[in-house]
């Protein structure tokens, strides 16, 4: 079995500045305890070693006059000065960094450009030594964004972070010059950095795999890793060799080792020894143990060996290679296999069969992709993330759709917040959905667009309710008519205009006033976000008719109106100004009217006169009779008193008053001896009739007064429901009086004949 070859970069390990800092620190720690102001270098393993022999971290509890070591990357100028006043400072700042401090600190006229990482301790220390605020640029993109702010009349001084990538630095300098920026460049990139970066390119180009030894906090180690990745596909970035499984190197021929400027020699030596001691026996054991134990249904990683139009060969780290046929690569016939893979690609494959008859393991690529999609969807379901569903077909109970390449189902009840009876318009659309049920083993995926709409609607309602207040006048569109009112859309939210708030007059049917899609202005009466209700009013956006009536009309005014209702006791008439008044049956005509419907019709326009206004009760009494010519009054015949039907009046015995009373013919005849029996009987009848006549006149007078009072009361009544029974009773009473009057007239005629 062959053994891999190891090549090590030169130079590698500590640069001059780091070696100097560590060497001086080791000497100090042999004599006393010291405190490091920040990390001395960016290497965790080396810092741990120094702490084990007495190096401590500086903090506010550090005793005064203690030895304080300044880190090699430099410190803020003001911090350095303050430390010198209280502690015994040991300056371990790299000489190349100090040189940059002097350059920028001596510059007082030119603007300064610092090219480097603005968050790195070294760059922060450089900034503190500048006499005015410098431009700090991390890369070429930042330079392109800020170059417009540069005044081309000025001259600029350019310095670099000591560990900056030399290749990128050259590009930025060239860009400045191409844009006519007047610059003076100080190449402050450390020579050790340039050398290590150049060596990293060389080693990576020669190796099958590269091991970069360094701390991930180290700027120069990170740059070496990025450079190696440009020239080699297999790069491992580790602190120490024990973090790496060397057995995976069995199929490499050349292994390159490079190390950052802050990586100690002992870590590099440790790595080389571990890899060189990996002899052939150990390698063979590693190879044998490294073979993957696979079985049908497993998902394993493999490296593409070759690709053709019909199949792909894959090394799956097994005794035999795997093969993927065209059918198990993709279902898309337009996709070429060579477009999907190339030799060296690392892919996941599904083990379908351990032997195809030729010694190859049968693999599938598309099944892995489907399983990955299920895993991704399951993760999105757990995280309540939104996915996109493409609607493909309308089926019984909902919609078929695809989420990626996975078939899914959307129930009809989850298509929208509003129930959609017709789903024929959805196929071909893409909808944002939430996953509501997933079972990757049963291949079941159920989604909902309704949940997305509900969340958006909830957010919309929150914003809407915060922007609307009681009393606002808003525009709306009538969406739905019901028996009790109308629902009006006032900007995405429906509010209710109750039937009592549609008009100032009584509304029997909402559809008599409003229709769907009518555009109206409404007043917000009450906003109730908790119950998601908004009460609206249409009538309160208009002037109240009663107010208009009071301002413009008074008793005695004559105007037109339309009959809107007929009852037994009268008619309700709507005036031109919109208010309703009562036309009592007694005020319809000069002659007696049995029923208003005998004279009037609903919808008929009539001329009427206002005969009464009750401001407190908001009632209006009307009359047609007042506008008619009055008949000439005929002398009324004396009518005897009619007995009320319900209450009998006991006849009073006649009282005779003697004084100042002239004897009547009857008394003369009564007292006359010459009177005949027949004459006496006639006198007796006349006395009775005279008494009845007088009583009838009194009753007629009383009834007439009661009738007038009742008519006035009825004229002031506009509430049909409250007074209908009373009015009907009065109408019956009027009929009774008329009948009694007819009886009295008959008796009066009899009396006159007598």
Q: Which residues are catalytic?
A: 122
Cβ pair 240, 265 in contact under 8 A: no
DSSP assignments along 107-118, one per residue? --SSEEEEES-T
In sequence order, what are the beta bridge partners of 606?
A: 561
Determine whether 474 is exposed, middle or buried from the number of CB atoms within 10 Å of its CB (0-12, 13-18, 19+). Answer: middle
E-strand ranges in 240-377 read 254-259, 299-307, 311-315, 322-325, 346-353, 361-364
- Phi and psi at 65, nearest 5°, equal 75, 5
* CA–CA separation, 694 and 639 (whole Å): 8
Q: 691 forms bridges with which residues in the sheet?
A: none
Q: Which stretch of DSSP H or E encloses residue 525?
A: strand 519-528
**Position of tokens 């493999």?**
302
CB 573 within 8 A of CB 601: no
**Which tokens in the block code for residue 607?**
């001329």
Distance of CA 27 to the CA centre of its chain: 66
In sequence order, the 6+-apart residues with CB closer than 8 A to the CB of 379 are none
- Residue carrying the six token digits 């190339």: 342
| Alpha-carbon gap, residue 581 to 559, rounded angstroms | 12
Distances (CA, A) of 614 to 78, 424, 646, 722, 724: 92, 62, 33, 16, 19
**φ, ψ for residue 577 (rounded to 5)?**
-80, -5
Over its C-alpha atoms, the chain yields an Rg (Å, rounded) of: 56
Bridge partner residues of 481 (DSSP) = 486
Q: Half-sphere exposure of 656 toward its Cβ, with a 13 Å CA cutoff?
A: 6
Q: Which two tokens stand for residue 33?
A: 């305890």
Nearest alpha-carbon partner for 154 in 135, 128, 130, 129: 135
C-beta separation of 560 from 606 below 8 A = yes
* Cis peptide preceding 11, ω within 30 of 0: yes
Q: Does residue 346 contact residue 301 with C-beta atoms inside 8 Å? A: yes
Cα distances from 715 to residues 385, 560, 582, 587, in angstroms, run: 72, 18, 6, 9
Query: What are the φ and ψ backbone dihedral angles of 575, each rounded to 5 degrees?
Result: -80, 165
Measured CA to CA, the distance from residue 619 to residue 560 in angstroms comes to 17
**At 249, is the secondary structure helix, strand, or coil?**
helix
Q: Helices 95-106 and 121-128 sit at what angle, rounded to 10 degrees?
A: 30
For the record, the structure tokens of 124 come out as: 């922060």
Cα diameter, the chain:
181
**Which H helix or E strand runs over 688?**
helix 677-715
């Amino acid at each position: 079995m062959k053994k891999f070859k190891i090549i090590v970069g030169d130079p590698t390990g500590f640069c001059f500045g780091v070696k100097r800092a560590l060497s001086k620190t080791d000497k100090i720690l042999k004599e006393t305890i010291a405190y490091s102001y920040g990390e001395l270098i960016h290497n965790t393993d080396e810092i741990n070693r120094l702490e084990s022999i007495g190096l401590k971290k500086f903090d506010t509890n550090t005793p005064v006059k203690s030895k304080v070591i300044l880190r090699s990357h430099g410190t803020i100028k003001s911090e350095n000065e303050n430390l010198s006043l209280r502690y015994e400072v040991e300056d371990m700042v790299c000489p190349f960094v100090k040189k940059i401090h002097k350059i920028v600190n001596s510059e007082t006229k030119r603007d300064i450009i610092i090219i480097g990482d603005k968050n790195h301790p070294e760059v922060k220390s450089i900034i503190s030594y500048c006499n005015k605020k410098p431009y700090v640029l991390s890369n070429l993109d930042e330079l392109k964004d800020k170059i417009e702010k540069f005044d081309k009349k000025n001259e600029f001084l350019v310095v670099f972070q000591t560990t900056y990538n030399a290749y990128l630095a050259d590009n930025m300098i060239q860009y400045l010059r191409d844009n006519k920026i007047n610059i003076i460049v100080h190449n402050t990139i450390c020579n050790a950095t340039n050398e290590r970066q150049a060596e990293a390119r060389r080693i990576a180009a020669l190796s099958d795999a590269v091991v970069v030894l360094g701390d991930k906090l180290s700027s120069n180690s990170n740059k070496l890793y990025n450079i190696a990745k440009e020239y080699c596909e297999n790069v491992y970035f580790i602190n120490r060799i024990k973090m790496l499984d060397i057995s995976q190197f069995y199929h490499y021929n050349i292994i390159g080792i490079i190390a950052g400027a802050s990586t100690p020699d002992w870590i590099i030596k440790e790595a080389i020894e571990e890899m060189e001691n990996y002899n052939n026996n150990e390698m063979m054991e590693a190879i044998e143990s490294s073979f993957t134990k696979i079985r049908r249904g497993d998902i394993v990683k493999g490296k593409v060996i070759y690709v053709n139009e019909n199949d792909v060969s894959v090394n799956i780290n097994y005794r035999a290679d795997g093969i993927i046929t065209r059918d198990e690569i993709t279902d898309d016939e337009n996709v070429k296999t060579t477009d999907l893979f190339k030799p060296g690609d690392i892919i996941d494959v599904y083990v379908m069969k351990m032997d195809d008859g030729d010694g190859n393991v049968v693999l599938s690529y598309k099944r892995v992709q489907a399983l990955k999609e299920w895993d991704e969807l399951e993760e999105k379901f757990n995280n309540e993330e939104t996915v996109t569903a493409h609607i493909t077909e309308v089926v019984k109970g909902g919609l078929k759709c695809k989420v990626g390449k996975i078939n899914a189902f959307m129930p009809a009840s989850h298509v929208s917040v509003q129930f959609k009876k017709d789903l024929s318009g959805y196929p071909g659309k893409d909808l944002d959905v939430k996953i509501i049920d997933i079972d990757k083993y049963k291949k079941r995926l159920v989604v909902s667009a309704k949940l997305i709409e509900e969340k958006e609607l909830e957010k919309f309602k929150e914003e809407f309710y915060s922007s609307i207040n009681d009393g606002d006048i808003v525009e709306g569109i009538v969406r739905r008519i019901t028996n009790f009112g109308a629902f009006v859309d006032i900007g995405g939210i429906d509010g209710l205009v109750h039937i009592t708030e549609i008009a100032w007059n009584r509304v029997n049917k909402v559809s008599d006033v409003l229709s769907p899609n009518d555009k109206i202005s409404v007043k917000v009466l009450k906003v109730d976000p908790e119950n998601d209700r908004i009460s609206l009013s249409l009538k309160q956006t208009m002037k109240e008719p009663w107010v208009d009536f009071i301002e413009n009309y008074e008793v005695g005014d004559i105007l037109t109106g339309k009959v809107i209702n007929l009852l037994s006791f009268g008619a309700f008439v709507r005036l031109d100004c919109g208010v309703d008044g009562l036309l009592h049956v007694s005020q319809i005509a000069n002659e007696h009217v049995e029923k208003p419907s005998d004279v009037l019709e609903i919808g008929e326009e009539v001329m009427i006169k206002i005969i009464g206004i009750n401001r407190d009760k908001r009632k209006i009494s009307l009359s047609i009779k007042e506008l008619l010519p009055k008949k000439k009054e005929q002398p009324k015949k004396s009518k005897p008193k009619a007995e009320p039907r319900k209450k009998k009046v006991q006849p009073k015995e006649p009282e005779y008053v003697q004084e100042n009373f002239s004897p009547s013919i009857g008394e003369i005849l009564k007292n006359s001896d010459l009177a005949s029996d027949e004459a006496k009987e006639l006198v007796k009848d006349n006395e009775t009739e005279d008494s009845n006549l007088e009583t009838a006149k009194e009753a007629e007078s009383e009834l007439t007064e009661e009738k007038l009072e009742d008519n006035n009361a009825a004229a002031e009544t506009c509430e049909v429901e409250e007074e209908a029974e009373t009015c009907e009773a009065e109408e019956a009473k009027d009929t009774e009086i008329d009948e009694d009057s007819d009886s009295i007239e008959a008796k009066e005629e009899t009396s006159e004949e007598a």
